[in-house]
Structure 1
Amino acid sequence: MREPLVVAHRGASAALPEHTLAAYELALREGADGLECDVRLTRDGHLVCVHDRTVDRTSDGSGVVSESTLAELREFNYGTPDVPAELLTLDTLVELALSWTERPVKLFVETKHPVRFGSLVESKVLAALARFGISTPASAAHARAVVMSFSAAAVWRVRRSAPLLPTVLLGESARYLGGSAATTVGATAVGPSVKTLREHPDTVDKAAAAGRATYCWTVDDRADVELCRELGVGWVATNHPGRTKNWLAS
Structure 2
Amino acid sequence: MLILAHRGYHAAVPENTLAAFEAAVTVGANGIETDVRISRDGLPILIHDRVAPSGEAVANLTRAEIEQILGHEIPTLDEALESFPDILWNIEIKSSATLSSVISVIKKHQARHRIIITSFCHDLVAVCASLLKVNCGFLLAHRPRTLDSLLADFNANGNPRINHIVWDYEVLDGVLLKQAAENGFRNFVYGPVTKTEHDNCRELGVDGVITDYPLLAQTA
Aligned to 2:13: 16
Structure 1 position 179 matched with structure 2 position 144: no
User: Which TM-score applies when normalising by structure 1?
Assistant: 0.79
Cα pair 2:116 2:137 within 8 Å, conserved: yes
Aligned to 2:134: 165
C-alpha spacing 1:55/1:16, structure 2 compared with 1 (3 Å): same
Q: How does 1:182-197 map to 2 (within 5 A)?
A: 182=151, 184-185=153-154, 186=159, 187-197=162-172
Cα pair 1:177 1:192 within 8 Å, conserved: no
C-alpha spacing 1:74/1:169, structure 2 compared with 1 (3 Å): same
Shift of residue 174 of structure 1? Answer: 2.4
When you count strand as a share of all residues, which structure comes out higher? 2
Cα pair 2:31 2:90 within 8 Å, conserved: yes
Aligned to 2:67: 74
Shift of residue 177 of structure 1? Answer: 7.5
Q: Find the aligned partners of 2:186 and 2:50 in 1 and give their Cα distance.
A: 29
Unaligned runs of 5+ in 1: 79-84, 99-103, 138-142
Shift of residue 107 of structure 1? Answer: 0.7
Q: Find the aligned partners of 2:23 and 2:216 in 1 and give their Cα distance.
A: 12
Corresponding residue to 1:110 among 92, 106, 116: 92
Cα pair 1:46 1:89 within 8 Å, conserved: yes
Give secondary structure in 2 for the equivalent of 1:76.
helix
Shift of residue 148 of structure 1? Answer: 0.5
Corresponding residue to 2:177 among 204, 208, 227: 204
Shift of residue 225 of structure 1? Answer: 1.1
The CA deviation string for residues 164-217 of structure 1, in whole angstroms up to 9 with x for no partner, is 3111101122216823433634421111111111xx222221111111001100
Which amino acid in 2 is paired with 1:95?
E
User: Which TM-score applies when normalising by structure 2?
Assistant: 0.89
- Identity over aligned residues, as a percent? 28
Corresponding residue to 2:119 among 149, 170, 189: 149
Q: Find the aligned partners of 2:2 and 2:131 in 1 and give their Cα distance.
A: 27
Structure 1 position 63 matched with structure 2 position 56: yes
Q: Find the aligned partners of 2:93 and 2:146 in 1 and give their Cα distance.
A: 17
Shift of residue 62 of structure 1? Answer: 4.8
Q: Find the aligned partners of 2:12 and 2:145 in 1 and give their Cα distance.
A: 33
Corresponding residue to 1:239 among 209, 212, 220: 212
Which amino acid in 2 is paired with 1:209?
E
